[in-house]
Amino acid sequence: MNFEKIKSPIGMNDFFGEKSELFAYLVKEFANQAKNYGYSLIITPLVEHVEVFNRLGKDTDVVSKEMYNFVDKGGRELVLKPESSAAVARSFVQHNPDIPWKVWYLSPQFRYERPQKGRYRQHFQLGVEILGATSFQADVEVIHFLYNFFNKIGLGPTTELNINTMGSIEERPKYKELLLTYFKKHEADLTNSGQWEKALNNPIRMLDSKVESLQGLLNDAPSIKSVSTKESLEKYEQVLQTLTDCGVEYVENSRLVRGFDYYSDTTFEFVSSAIDAAQSTIAGGGSYNKLVEELGGKPTPGIGFGAGVERWMLALENLSKGTGQVLPTSKCDVFVVGDDSLTAPIVMKLREANLSVLNSLDDKSFKAQFKQANKANAKLVVIYGADENTRSVVNVKCMETGNQDEVSLENLVQEVKQRL
């Protein structure tokens, strides 16, 4: 009987080999930096109540078109998590932790959108959130986290920080009216480009339009600074000045608006020249000062960012092709070559010493096993055949230099560690 092959769902991918190695490297580096910045890991459920994400804005594509929502057997409407900031805010309200609450997360996100390179229906998101911090320094810290991280993983020279203020929530209605007045003067252009309805329904989101014929019109649109309060502008200027003091270069972009309605005040994105322009954003975030309240909590300021790990992987892969920069991969410490009937105790002894150890797991020739060791990027090869067994010795070969030494079996762990 022939069975049909079953593939992964459209827009959802398997990672293994070099891709999973790169994924693991990025997560490890991110986790290490999060620890250095004082963030603790949070894990929220994959499934949340749909009400959590309705706060993103009913006119956003994520809420109106892209959510994977369903009704469970108890009649509750649930959703596969499309983003994590709202889930973290829900957790904050539920558990009432001490503030400021600084957390980082790694989570799969689900959005039913057209799959393309760098954009998938399931993607993994890394991010941080700070809840309950009132100082502008929280904004600077979150932005610097990304700036520092991209430099560490080799993307720094390709990135540009775009930053803007979306003003306070209280300023938003005035700004919408200001934009509507402006767009109504250009109704014909907006209608001809098919964007008039969008301009009427969500004038702020209209600023982010990529329609080429409208770029001049949108560049001339009024800035939110024209309706911002003195207090709001002063905080934004403090953020910019402190970024400069910290050596972080930026470009002010008055058209930068984030895709969710909960954002206010500082908003930012990092774009990378290592990815095609259409998908060049590799991280984005901003302040949200009403989200916790809208989820049933006390008024609490928040700021954070989210970033798709797959975008970082794509950027690094593209950079590697263009510059020859070597992608980070893991090397095993030791590959044990020998007869299966003899090598198991040696393999386990080395692993008990906290070393990364591989062996063939097949009855292959020594030559074939050495090929496996090369493919595994092994630093050392430990050779243990019948002759070595008779004499209670092993041969240790350095794969980089080709040097090979005979050492006693009793001192194997010590000898291996000295050579690593």
pTM: 0.86
Q: First vs last Cα of the chain: how many Å apart? A: 52
Within-domain flag for 173: no
Block residue for tokens 């010590």: 414
Strands 47-49 and 393-398, by their bridges, are unpaired
| pLDDT for res 221 | 86
Is the same domain home to 402 and 291? no
Residues 6+ apart with CB under 8 A from 17: none
Q: How many CA atoms lie within 13 A of 38 on its CB side?
A: 8
CATH number of the structural domain spanning residue 348? 3.40.50.800
Residue where a domain terminates, one of 323, 352, 376: 323
156 phi, psi to nearest 5 deg: -50, -50
Task: Specify the number of domains making up the chain.
Answer: 2
**Contact indicator for 332, 376 with CB cutoff of 8 Å:** yes
Q: What is the mean pLDDT of each run of 10 residues along the chain (420 residues)?
A: 88 90 94 97 96 75 80 94 93 96 96 83 96 95 97 94 87 84 84 81 79 84 83 92 96 80 86 84 92 93 95 92 72 90 92 94 89 91 93 94 93 93
Within-domain flag for 396: yes
3-class SS shares of the chain: helix, strand, coil, % to 5: 45, 20, 35
Is the same domain home to 358 and 318? no
Within-domain flag for 240: yes
Within-domain flag for 198: no
Task: Report pLDDT digits (tens) over 111-137.
Answer: 998 888 778 999 999 999 999 999 999
| pLDDT for res 324 | 66
| pLDDT for res 309 | 95
Is the same domain home to 88 and 64? yes
Question: In angstroms, rounded to a whole number, what is the distance separating the alpha carbons of residues 400 and 395?
Answer: 15
Residue where a domain terminates, one of 276, 297, 323: 323
The continuous run of DSSP H or E covering 286 comes out as: strand 281-288
Is the same domain home to 262 and 156? yes
Within-domain flag for 146: yes
| pLDDT for res 56 | 66
- The sign of the dihedral angle between the CA atoms of 325, 328, 333, 339 is negative
Q: Give the Cβ contact number of residue 332 at 10 Å.
A: 15
Question: In angstroms, rounded to a whole number, what is the distance separating the alpha carbons of residues 312 and 22?
Answer: 10
Is the same domain home to 42 and 126? yes
CATH number of the structural domain spanning residue 130? 3.30.930.10
Is the same domain home to 163 and 307? yes
Is the same domain home to 41 and 131? yes
Residue where a domain terminates, one of 280, 297, 323: 323
**Contact indicator for 152, 325 with CB cutoff of 8 Å:** no
Going by the DSSP 8-state scheme, the letter that residue 214 receives in this structure is G
Q: What does 98-133 look like in DSSP terms, one character per residue?
A: -SSEEEEEEEEEE--S--BTTB-SEEEEEEEEEES-
| pLDDT for res 270 | 96
Residues 6+ apart with CB under 8 A from 68: 79, 80, 82, 110, 111, 112
Within-domain flag for 177: no
Determine the structural domain holding residue 97 and report its residue range: 18-168+228-323
Within-domain flag for 178: no
| pLDDT for res 301 | 94
Within-domain flag for 182: no
